[in-house]
Structure 1
Amino acid sequence: MGKISQGVLGGFSGKVGNVVGGTWKGIDYMRIKPANVSNPRTAGQVDQRSKFSTTLKFLQSMTDFLRVGFKLYANKMTQFNAAMSYNLNNAITGSYPNFTIDYANALVSRGGLVGAANAAVSSSGGLVEFTWDDNTGSGNAQATDKALLVVYNPTKDESIYDSAGAVRSATSQNLGMPASYVGDDVEAFIGFLSEDGKEVANSVYIGSVTVA
């Protein structure tokens, strides 16, 4: 039985027929209770499940990082869900059952801050080495913007990242890799976060590098 908490024009919680009501983050909602289908298997549903799983596999190892990278897009949803939505719609390539992440179109941070210029990646001594140009003064880029760095290891489904890295004017930073990563190909991304934390740049996919 549903319960009306704010008069006849307010929201309600519980179930009335096949309508379910509730509140999430202070927002009243109503939804239709889905039919009891134990395992829908239409071609479209199977495709979407596979795309979802591929995207989830990519992002779940960097959940904490995404709280910073997608902080500006967590409007009535979590930062992780905002990242899932963007990448599910923009960064999936291939066809069922061989969907993969198109890293060049993927974002691990998103916003209007000017991004990295001429970024590159290399590896030696168990380090992944990021370099970029100091493009301070280009648009809203500031020397004090902090680098957002991600190294994703698709072989191990793990990520190493820094959500408050070197400043833009430093033009380089290293991330240490676990010994078990040596010989693995990893994917590198760089973005920026303003010093006050209010602006974020779209991440740039730098490329793949073998950890040496």
Structure 2
Amino acid sequence: MGKIKQGILGGLSGKVGNVIGANWKGIDYLRIKPSSVANPRTPGQVDQRSKFSTVLRFLQPMTDFLKVTFRQYASGMTQFNAAMSYNLNNAVTGVYPDFAIDYPNALVSRGNLTTPADGAATSTTAAELDLTWTDNSGTGSAMATDKALIVAINAVRGEAVFTTAGPARSAGSALLNLPVEYSGENLEVYLGFISEDGSKVSNSVYLGSVSIA
């Protein structure tokens, strides 16, 4: 129960109706209690929260990677939030409660640098991932010195192995070392490029789900 000590304009302690009185550093102040939400879990809200959780689980393991690869689209927001926004709108498939990531349509890097050509990923040696691509230097904005952006996502474990400074575009191949416990498990693999000075990145390309030797 609230008490008005000095008239209606001051000295209110506690709550009277939807008005709450308090004191901060000797100053009395009033605030209005927010109206309660009659149904905070409408079907639309539940649907959106489930989609959000799906994308969050996908992106969280590569938070540091996204700080580099979504830099161009982080105007007024963090790089992670830019990645969340894109993938929420473009990379969720299914219906509630069975939402999943649409891996071919997801992006883990986004930009206007020329994308990789003919990318592929395989694993023939334990705890190693082999990637290949065609050197398309000179096509569009592609430069021989661009560095490979590589992500291998272990969705079951909620982990990712990545690099933002892989071999040059002109190299045509890369080797990514993996934890030994990944042997026998499937990883979702993406390849992109970043310019040598780090100012430009390409959209990522999904190379498929790879069973690790």
The two structures have a TM-score, normalised by structure 2, of 0.82
Structure 1 residue 61 displacement after superposition: 0.3
Return the alpha-carbon distance in structure 2 between the equivalents of residues 34 and 43 of structure 1: 23
Return the alpha-carbon distance in structure 1 between the equivalents of residues 157 and 151 of structure 2: 15
**Residue 55 of structure 1 corresponds to which residue in structure 2?**
55
> Does the residue aligned with 1:54 lie in a helix, a strand or coil?
helix
**Residue 119 of structure 1 corresponds to which residue in structure 2?**
119
Return the alpha-carbon distance in structure 1 between the equivalents of residues 37 and 75 of structure 2: 31
**Pairwise CA RMSD:** 1.4
Structure 1 residue 39 displacement after superposition: 7.0
Structure 1 gaps of 5+ residues are: 1-32
**Residue 162 of structure 1 corresponds to which residue in structure 2?**
163
> Does the residue aligned with 2:162 lie in a helix, a strand or coil?
strand
Return the alpha-carbon distance in structure 2 between the equivalents of residues 155 and 167 of structure 1: 30
Map 1:1-212; keep pairs closer than 5 Å. Answer: 35-37=35-37, 40-125=40-125, 126-212=127-213
The two structures have a TM-score, normalised by structure 1, of 0.82
Change (3 A) 1:172 1:180: same
Structure 1 residue 196 displacement after superposition: 1.1
1:142-194 deviation per Cα after TM superposition (whole angstroms, max 9, x unaligned)? 00000000000111010000011110000111111111111111100001000
Identical-residue share of aligned pairs (%): 59
Structure 1 residue 36 displacement after superposition: 3.7
1:120-149 deviation per Cα after TM superposition (whole angstroms, max 9, x unaligned)? 000122101110000000011000000000
Return the alpha-carbon distance in structure 2 between the equivalents of residues 55 and 79 of structure 1: 14
Structure 2 gaps of 5+ residues are: 1-32
Larger Rg: 2
Aligned amino acid, residue 93 of structure 1 = T
